[in-house]
Structures are given as structure tokens and as C-alpha cells.
Structure 1
């Protein structure tokens, strides 16, 4: 009918998809922005409401199995429960610090729009400095001023 091949099963018509278009159909129902990366069964169900090809179940299973987005976000992927990032918290002050750059913020009267923040991870003591721009020289100068007052952290 209209140069299209239809598969009729249980009174339902499904458009037969040529081999060259299988991947495109699976992409549309699994990866496309509005698809939302449903699981294998949901993807098969959505596809088979309109389309048919002999290996649809196997093709979708393989496609979803190797989907990088699903592998990194579904159960067993990157979002599965893991050990804490810091299994050994610092035991004494100035053992370990963190450094953050915050901004850009609205420009202040002194022309600053960024904030450099160093935090002692044991005591949560904060050292901060407002700066107009962030570059290597500015960060090193900030760290040098902290090290001159408190010494170098162990880590």
C-alpha cells in the first residue's frame, strides 16, 4: 500500500522497517531529546506500536545495553551507591585544604567580581579574597598570602 510494506499481527498493522533504518528508529524512541532513555522493554513497546522488523527485540536489547547515557545513569552505572569520596577525613587543622573560585558576581565598587576561597577541611576555617579576575598569578598570590600566615598544608 503506497509502496510501503505492512506487517499485520493480531489485527494490528505495523510498518516494516528496512534494515538501513533500524538504528534510526531505535535512536528516535530511545536517545532523542523527547525519548528520555527508557529501558529496553519500554523502548520495544513504543517501537512495536507502529513498526516491525524481525529482530526488533534483540536489536533494542543490544542498543540499550551499550547506550553510554544509560550506563552512566541507570542502576549499576555511575549513580549507584559508592564509598564516600573522602574515606579518611583530616584529623588535625591545616592537614588538607580545598580551593574554590566563585563567580562571576556583579562588579563591586572595587571592581571585584570573583571570590577565591580556601577552606581548612578539618576545622572548616575559611580564607577568602575578592578579585577582579582569575588567573594563575592571582591564585598563586592568594595561596602565598595564606601560606605566609599559616604555613603549608600537609596535602
Structure 2
């Protein structure tokens, strides 16, 4: 192994970690994705292309859906391109030009409790000492969590979020 190959290896290896029984990769967007290979990778790719939410999109969009689902493998773009090229349904529809198609709006697919909105309300005058209300709303279900608090500092927010995460899991985003 040449010194350049060693440098490349050590540069690449820092993006991976092992959590038995899976290998994970920290991608450029700082999202941790599970590494897959072989038949499992093909099944995931096929589900993202042909499944109920697939839509028979192109190779790049299919690869993006795999990334959004939390998976990674080094040849994902090449494999997606080959899958689209070999997809019978896609090849039959290839002659339809984009100007003949209806405009499509991307629908964001989120799970319940994946995205929370959080904000303070107040200050209010209070005889019990609680001057603020911290409110969190799940974007999908519109579930509301609220807590009356004496202050609006970071410490009470962290405690509130820890309680929220313990009950509903860690969300993808907090707005």
C-alpha cells in the first residue's frame, strides 16, 4: 500500500464507526447513516424507487430518498442509475417529455414526533411565581406539550427538552 493510499484510507476511515452489529457513516451533511451492502442495499433502493412512496423517479431523486431513509453505500448513485435504466415501467414512460407532465410538489414525509416547534409565551404576572409558558407542538399530529416556568433561560429549556425526548424520542428537527 503506497503512502498516498494510506493517507486516503486514514482520511476516509474517520467518517465511519461500528455499533455492533452495524457500521455507520457520518456523511457530509453531518447525518449518521447505516451502511448496507448487497441484497439489502438493492431491496432498499428498489423500495425507494418502486414502493408505495417511490413514484418511479430518476436516479438522483431515488438516491436522495435512500439517504433520507438513513442508509448509505459507496456505489449508491451508480446502483440507482442502473436500477432506473433496468426498470420496465420507467423505460416505457421515458418518451413523455417534462412539458407533458403535471407539475409535482414534493411532499415531505415525516413520522409523528419527528419535527417539533418550540417557543416561550410571556412574561405574565403570576402569584405562583411562574411567569413564562414553554410550548412545544408536534408539526404532524399537532400534539401540544406546555409547561409553566419561573424563568426563560437555557437551563429550563434543556430540562424540558430532555423530558420531551425521554417520552417521544429524539426528533429530526426542532424549529
> TM-score interval w.r.t. the shorter chain?
0.3 to 0.5
**Structure number, greater radius of gyration:** 1
Structure number with higher helix proportion: 2
TM-score (norm 1): 0.46
